[in-house]
Chains A and B, each alone.
Chain A
Amino acid sequence: AQSVAQPEDQVKVAEGNPLTVKCTYSVSGNPYLFWYVQYPNRGLQFLLKYITGDNLVKGSYGFEAEFNKSQTSFHLKKPSALVSDSALYFCAVRDTSSNDYKLSFGAGTTVTVRA
């Protein structure tokens, strides 16, 4: 079975400050990990993914995420947040050992960046 936990429903930061959105996962095999962002009344927009290799993954709009196998975490980070980063963020996992062709999503974290 595969699952994702996003322990924070909301994250609030000031513009220019670092932003971190937390994600932990559970899989039987190895994980493929993804981050998506959703703006109001829109679909999910892909930010970045970890498949294999370098634990630090860089993605769109200045976001990056660090894969930590020992802590089963894949936290999303941005060094300097913008007001336009305010949105709903989802972490997702796919278990490489599973025959399920699906992503399991976390509950989402609402990010608010204040000016």
Chain B
Amino acid sequence: KAGVTQTPRYLIKTRGQQVTLSCSPISGHRSVSWYQQTPGQGLQFLFEYFSETQRNKGNFPGRFSGRQFSNSRSEMNVSTLELGDSALYLCASSLAGRVSGNTIYFGEGSWLTVV
């Protein structure tokens, strides 16, 4: 069974540009969540989607957005990039019921460097 797949793995962008990251969850998983990992702030929750609906959003500015498609694949977008957006962006998927102890599985991440 394939794991969570994220593309691209590495990318470099210039300040002010925008970026779109893609995530394909494990087959059958309907919940997709995104996390940002930085050395200073650690792992921070961005948002979570289930059946194309955003159920939760973390404390990030509106420049960070996401969506989920009918096949559960998800994208996140960051507009007007800032140097501080340089991070590892991790996508995770789970079966996810309402309040769920289902295991959340992570992808390898997308390394974003903003110059």
Question: CB within 8 Å of B: which residues of A?
Answer: 32, 34, 36, 41-46, 49, 51-52, 90, 94, 96-108
* Chain A residues, CB < 8 A from B101: 32, 49, 51-52, 94, 96
Known: A44-B90, A49-B103. A102 touches B56 (CB 8 A): yes
The total of interchain contacts (Cβ-Cβ below 8 angstroms) comes to: 59
Does the CB pair A104–B45 fall under 8 Å? yes
Cβ contact of A34, chosen from B42, B48, B104, cutoff 8 A: B104
Q: In the complex the two chains form, what is the Cα distance from A94 to B96 in whole Å?
A: 12
Give B60-115 interface residues, CB cut-off 8 Å to A.
90, 92, 96, 99-101, 103-109, 111
Could you name 7 residue pairs across A and B whose Cβ atoms are closer than 8 Å?
A32-B100, A32-B101, A43-B4, A43-B107, A46-B104, A46-B105, A94-B101
Q: Is the interface of B mostly helix, strand, loop or mixed?
A: strand
Cβ contact of B31, chosen from A36, A94, A101, cutoff 8 A: A101
* Chain A residues, CB < 8 A from B58: 102
Does the CB pair B45–A102 fall under 8 Å? yes
Shortest beta-carbon distance from B113 to chain A in Å: 13
Find the B residue at minimum CB distance from A32.
B101
Q: In the complex the two chains form, what is the Cα distance from A112 to B40 in whole Å?
A: 21
Question: CB within 8 Å of A: which residues of B?
Answer: 4, 6, 31, 33, 42-43, 45, 48, 50, 55-56, 58, 90, 92, 96, 99-101, 103-109, 111
Find the B residue at minimum CB distance from A42.
B108
* Chain B residues, CB < 8 A from A49: 101, 103
* Chain B residues, CB < 8 A from A103: 33, 45, 104
Q: In the complex the two chains form, what is the Cα distance from A106 to B56 in whole Å?
A: 20
Does the CB pair A102–B42 fall under 8 Å? no
Cβ contact of B55, chosen from A52, A101, A107, cutoff 8 A: A101
Q: In the complex the two chains form, what is the Cα distance from A101 to B104 in whole Å?
A: 11
Does the CB pair A43–B106 fall under 8 Å? yes
Does the CB pair A36–B106 fall under 8 Å? yes
Does the CB pair A44–B31 fall under 8 Å? no
Find the B residue at minimum CB distance from A48.
B103
* Chain A residues, CB < 8 A from B111: 41
